[in-house]
Structure 1
Amino acid sequence: MKITKHFTTIEGYMKSFERKYKLERYRQNEDSQLPVVCFGMYSKSGMHYMMNHQGLLIIIWCGSDGLNLCQPNYQFFVRWCIENKHRVFHLAYSKWLVADLKGVGIEHISKRIFPMEFDRNVFAVVPLGKKIYHYTAGKSRDDFYGKPLAKKIQDEIPAFQMLWGTRNGVPHREVWKLYADCFCGVRFTSHDNMAMSVIEMSLMGRYSIFNGNVPGALPYETKRDVIDYLKVEWMKEEPDKELSEETWEFIYDDRKWLDTKFYE
């Protein structure tokens, strides 16, 4: 049986997730017995809401939602998940999310799931730009995304010009223009999912300095590591076509996880 209902807690991805997998929004009163997939689990209210669900529940962990699992005031949900593990399944791939789930005794299925389609004609391999892409989500998240470190690097080596990127107001089909201006990306998060900007830059043959377990990620420990990587990437004349193909294979989704048989 194909899963057709979804509960998405990340508003910015709701429509794209719905379109990609041909899903309908979950209605508790009408759909409580049907299988449902939940994209993200960020709030207590969302947890309590889905704890009332009586059918098969698939939770796709998305990033910082995993950080809540070890907190004392979220243990009610952890216990509920473990008690209902026969019908509540958890999908994750990021090394951080896997560690979050294992840390509280929740079993997971390794799956790479992205909330939107990627178009080869959009995220094409184009000539390298001159800037460094740094994703930013607003001042309140500057520390989380490592903007202070990025600024220090730019101040130390002015030739390294940062492009402070954001998705706000930029259609998905247009973000490639930001990446095209860059030769490399930096993502200084200490906890993350698969990082859309890193994936999209990899599709375009560009590496990102990032500690995640995805194609195109260059792991670092210190500021000196970052600068050394940037110097190497700066000297490259062409984008990496093999990296692009590796990433296209990485994001392939057979969609078997959308069939209830997958969980039997």
Structure 2
Amino acid sequence: MAKILEKIELAPNIKEIVVEAPLIAKKAEPGQFVIVIVDEKGERIPLTIADFDRDKGTITIVFLEIGKSTMKLGRLNVGDEIAHVTGPLGNPSEIPKGETIVFVGGGVGTAAVYPIARKAKQAGNYIISIIGARTKDLLIWEDRMREVSDELIVTTDDGTYGRKGVVTEPLKELLEEREIDRVVAIGPAIMMKFVALTTKPYGVKTIASLNPIMVDGSGMCGACRVQVGGVTKFACIDGPEFDAHEVDFDLLLKRLATYREEEEFAKKLFLEGAQ
């Protein structure tokens, strides 16, 4: 059991919770994730560790309430206990030294980018961050990203805050104007695809985190199979980070829709009161 110590509603349907998990906090590194099971009848949910405090023995999780299980998690309050939180899982992010790195965070992905950017900054890299959302109300963790960035660019699709447009527009300008050593993108799969397409002509190393496709998180279910450089990989055990230029994003996007019908049915039953 893992007790919820803090809970914040960051944006509509986006929650931040701080969970008591001393053993996970002790070992956690940027880029890793945990498996959350809300109750004894719940399914496994892979969620990125957005922050951790080794001294306090806590981890922070940020999630979008999009299906039955994340909605159930979102209904828990401070003092409630999550049945199971397992981790840290996945390979930690590679942290270089002395590079100029652009971090691109889309939606909830901004929270996943944060600990990687923080450690990269601590390692002496120059950090340029681009964070984006559909509209101002869905932007999260701008203050945190500003703290770990030498430069921060904020975009919204509708122009309600920051620069109007998508994250790839300022990214392309940076690639044309500056010497960029690497780009790290975390967000919706479609966003990561277009980040990869944007950087490829410039030959800039680009990393994408493929957390969105994971289900079981242990390599046993095979749902997170991805093609990377023509070779089958498992996002949960071989990743979650991969060379974005080698990822077959078209296949990834198709696989993301595999269980959509079942997910919508489970969500419908949950909203109708069937637990």
**TM-score higher than 0.5:** no
Q: Determine which structure has the larger strand proportion and give its number.
A: 2
Q: Which has the higher helix share?
A: 1
- Which has the greater radius of gyration? 1
TM-score (norm 1): 0.33
Q: What TM-score results when the alignment is normalised by the length of structure 2?
A: 0.33
